[in-house]
Chains A and B, each alone.
Chain A
């Protein structure tokens, strides 16, 4: 198939970017989206051009680094799919594909489609952990964990921190990401102890960094490649209100 590409090109963080148009012939429908970009880059390098910079690592949907905004949707047109899992068969011959970096003041562009997601790390550093003695693994049944809670905590832990929720949200809100991390810990007995402090610290950091608020449009849920539900946000709000109004310091 032949496709036309409209890709955001930006030399560095300070430069003013613009869209560049490219045509690509003989694209296989079985190609991955990133393979298609590799194919384009090979052509660009051969013709003496500058390859398109984008981030990738695992290429199997678990590292969260490959996010880009494809035809108005983070990670492209398929639901519950990361960019690296996206195949060219999701597009038609002759299509024009517009590729932009995730846009948010908190995700500054480093180059082309490459963004800096350090803001997520800062939120995690603020409280996205449990304080526990390290050492040998404890006896398995010494702390009983309800199966339902373990499953829910695992669902939350599937968040790969790709930033699609922020990219999709009209307000650049990070509520889905933060709520997934908060719930992941709050649902388990080891994490419950610090839950009130954690939610206050992580929400405060999220606000301090400048992420927008949640308008409940649920674009984040629609675009999350791991299908994390907005019920996580409601639970975080409950945790937050409990921490602020009821829990003792």
Chain B
């Protein structure tokens, strides 16, 4: 086996980033699945049970730490790589690149930063409430009452709008991220890569529409 090197190579860094990214993408499916329970019309009863399970199950608790580790690793490596890339071309072109490439693949760091800012906002609304780091909203019965927090939050056109815009940027990030992770891990094959690209788009659209649907449901159809 190769010697352990404290300074990881470009490829190793990207591979770790891709694995962390795939893990985060798996989490998003779980997150969306649980959030979808809010649409059952049972006043958040099933959703509340799922939240309770996610909060108190020791296995999930471990998963939560791994998840935050994944977030941090993905973001730190992404930022370090971006800095290195910036210095690889100190003098920019006068005419920006016209190569025939996917538009948003060039802006992963930008959509990534937007997602990070969104996460701070999202955590302030939900996760930090659970941790008692921010004040419990007046509407909520307790710090795990996410259903009430959600229905009040998305009645605001500003928050509903901000969340939907962020979901669109998240989708654009994911559309490239999913298929890109496979390429980085060396999983490129003439037979499977076209299918991976299609799945990547379906996944990104599904996540964007799924989360947006919940926001729109509370904004338009739910009566407080």
B62 contacts A by Cβ under 8 Å? no
Q: Which residue of A lies closest to B179 (CB)?
A: A216
Most buried by B among A73, A100, A234, A243: A234
Q: How many A-B residue pairs have CB under 8 A?
A: 146
A233 contacts B by Cβ under 8 Å? yes
Q: Which residue of B lies closest to A221 (CB)?
A: B101
Interface of A is mostly: mixed
Tally of chain B residues near chain A (CB < 8 A): 44
- Residues in B with CB closer than 8 Å to A204 are 9
Q: A173-B85, A212-B81, A213-B84 are in contact. List 14 more A-B contacts (CB 8 A).
A: A71-B95, A72-B95, A79-B100, A104-B88, A173-B10, A214-B10, A216-B176, A218-B102, A222-B101, A230-B188, A234-B188, A240-B9, A243-B2, A248-B1
- Residues in A with CB closer than 8 Å to B105 are 215-218
A207 contacts B by Cβ under 8 Å? yes
- Residues in A with CB closer than 8 Å to B9 are 203-204, 207, 240
Also in contact, A170 and B106, with CB within 8 A (given A212-B84, A216-B184, A234-B183): yes
Contact with B along A203-235 (1 / 0, CB 8 A): 110110011111111110011000000110111
In this complex, the interface size class of chain A, counting residues with CB under 8 Å from chain B, is 35 or more
Alpha-carbon separation in the docked complex, A171 to B88 (Å)? 6
Alpha-carbon separation in the docked complex, A222 to B97 (Å)? 11
CB distance from A19 to the nearest CB of B (A): 7
Also in contact, A215 and B108, with CB within 8 A (given A104-B89, A106-B88, A234-B187): yes
Q: Which residue of B lies closest to A243 (CB)?
A: B2
- Residues in A with CB closer than 8 Å to B96 are 72
Q: Which of A1-44 contact B (CB under 8 A)?
A: 6, 8, 19
Contact with A along B92-126 (1 / 0, CB 8 A): 11111111111001101000000000000000000
CB distance from B6 to the nearest CB of A (A): 13
A122 contacts B by Cβ under 8 Å? no
B150 contacts A by Cβ under 8 Å? no
Alpha-carbon separation in the docked complex, A121 to B84 (Å)? 22
Is A246 a contact partner of B89 (Cβ separation < 8 A)? no
Is A234 a contact partner of B97 (Cβ separation < 8 A)? no
- Residues in A with CB closer than 8 Å to B12 are 240, 244
Also in contact, A219 and B87, with CB within 8 A (given A103-B92, A214-B14, A237-B15): no
Also in contact, A105 and B90, with CB within 8 A (given A214-B184, A233-B183, A241-B15): yes
- Residues in B with CB closer than 8 Å to A240 are 9, 11-12
Is A219 a contact partner of B14 (Cβ separation < 8 A)? no
Alpha-carbon separation in the docked complex, A106 to B96 (Å)? 19
